[in-house]
Chain A
Amino acid sequence: MRLHIVELIFFSAYAELRAERSRSYLGFVWWLLDPALQMGIYYLVFSVVLKSAQSDFVPFLLIGLTVWQWFKSCVSHGGHAIWQNLRVIRQVKLPAAVFPSVQILADTVKFLCILALLLVVLWSCGYRPNAAYAALPAVLIVELIFASAIAYFVAAIMPLLPDLRFVIEQILTMLMFVSGIVIPVHDVASPLRELLMLNPMVEIVEATRGILMRGEWPHWPELLGVTVVSIACYVASLVVISRLTHRYVKLPS
């Protein structure tokens, strides 16, 4: 990739983060407050109101939501990115994948802030740092590749199918419930459970919980499988974007 494209992605991500700060009174505080509020709501509903019987439910939920929120923002923001930048794409010759990449980078910066807060909360609840933390970067990189792959794919088809933006949030909410974020996939009855386990996010979320809550190393063969699938999806999505780029330029404005 050419240097000015890399510079463009980084500088645009910086611009994106600055924009969020300047659009509200509390600015950066919302990066943490927004997920904290959301976690609070899920905690109230599942732990207090529905009285979920599972022990360790709070860290289970917090880790699941933090990891999911990152995936969701990448897909949702990145997915809109080409569609929102059609005007620029019509004016200058740029690889269209730049636009979702900017959103993914900005959301990753925000995720890292939230992750830092999550770790502090977990430590103060007694879930201490452990040797398996060494595997955390690997698990997060696999999630980044998978989230990017899906974000690129949604971004690629959104300009041709703008109706997608009316359903993308609902699809993501539905996916959250089948990815073991609030309801453990292991609680699901057998034939359906095996089907749900095919979703790479299930393995990624479980591996993260294993590290942070129980000091367990990831199941390497499964994680390797998820990595291979993620890389394949990533490459396929980039091919789709480059194949479709000439059509974005010609879309009616």
Chain B
Amino acid sequence: MSEAIVKLENVGIAFDMQLRIGGKRFWALEDVTLELAAGDRLGVIGRNGAGKSTLLRVIAGILAPDRGRISRNKVSCQLLSLAVGFQPHLSGRDNAILSGLMLGLHRRDIERRMPQIIEFSELGDFFDEPISTYSTGMLSRLGFSVAMQVEPDILLIDEVLAVGDAEFREKSAAALRERIHSGCSVVLVSHEERAIRDICTHAIWIEHGRSVMHGRVEAVLEAYAREAHVEPTGAGA
């Protein structure tokens, strides 16, 4: 494995359960250790509530660990977030600028990419109308088109692999797949084993906030299928 660009060592994250002084804390992540090398595509698997989404936000730098260590090389890291900061009364164009700025793009970069955003979102004349007039499908098309303009060194994806109606789903999935295979590093959280198998080179299995296994994607998926899938039926032991 080449040099790690992100390294987590025994990372734990605690959340306050209520807004109250001395309220209970809940450890969403207990003890996670992982390494991500340049060009790695890491799949995160585990049951609901295992801490997968929390892990993505730690890697993104949004959450700081309450215990353990995280080290990150000088790389840009972005959670694929749709419609961040969208304002209903603003036009699609203004929202593209606002959201792009929030995602870390410069104004002139957004203006330069505007033709691609307009074309990809297929909004036509609606692009200069307030987004409060948009349908849900139109909103997700705009959100996706803007989010795709960010080109981080590490792309973090939480389940979103395609958006919109049937036709746009295909188009957005293809665009995202192209981005994923463009050489950046990827961390993907997904419940779909097939997606993980197709996309990822490595996988990490998280259980109750702990990393259980980390390695080649096939080996981890196999172990996960053996353990996790059998257990809920009560047939294990």
Contacts and interface: CB of A to CB of B under 8 A. Distances in A.
Interface of A: 3-4, 7-8, 11-12, 15, 18-19, 22-23, 88, 90-94, 160, 162, 246, 249-252
Contacts of B85: 12, 88
Contacts of B62: 90-93, 249
A15 to B, nearest CB: 5
B218 interface: no
Contacts of B130: 22
Given A88-B84, A249-B63, A4 B90 contact: no
Contacts of A90: 57, 62
B93 to A, nearest CB: 12
A91 to B, nearest CB: 5
A39 B48 CA distance: 57
Interface in B48-104: 57, 60-64, 79, 81, 84-85, 87, 89-90, 94, 97-98, 101-104
A92 B107 CA distance: 17
Given A4-B107, A8-B98, A91-B79, 19 more contacts: A4-B101, A4-B104, A11-B101, A18-B89, A19-B87, A88-B84, A90-B57, A91-B62, A92-B84, A92-B103, A162-B19, A246-B63, A250-B15, A250-B16, A251-B16, A252-B15, A252-B16, A252-B17, A252-B18
A23 B16 CA distance: 36
Contacts of B61: 93
B169 interface: no
Contacts of A94: 102
A236 to B, nearest CB: 22
Given A18-B89, A18-B90, A8 B63 contact: no
Nearest to A160: B19
B106 interface: yes
B199 interface: no
A162 B19 CA distance: 9
A23 B89 contact: yes
Contacts of B97: 11
B48 to A, nearest CB: 17
B94 to A, nearest CB: 7
B15 A92 contact: no
Main DSSP-derived SS at the A contact region: helix
Contacts of A11: 97-98, 101, 107
Interface string B126-137: 000010000000
B105 interface: yes
Given A18-B90, A19-B87, A90-B62, A8 B102 contact: yes
Contacts of B89: 18-19, 22-23
A170 to B, nearest CB: 22
A93 B16 contact: no
A92 to B, nearest CB: 5
B81 A12 contact: no
Nearest to B130: A22
Contacts of B101: 4, 7-8, 11-12
Nearest to A159: B19
Interface string B1-40: 0000000000001111111000000000000000000000
Contact of A4 (B15, B18, B94, B105): B105
Interface string B106-128: 11000000000000000000000
Nearest to A163: B19
Contacts of A15: 87, 90, 94, 98
Contacts of B104: 4, 92
A88 B61 CA distance: 14
A248 to B, nearest CB: 10
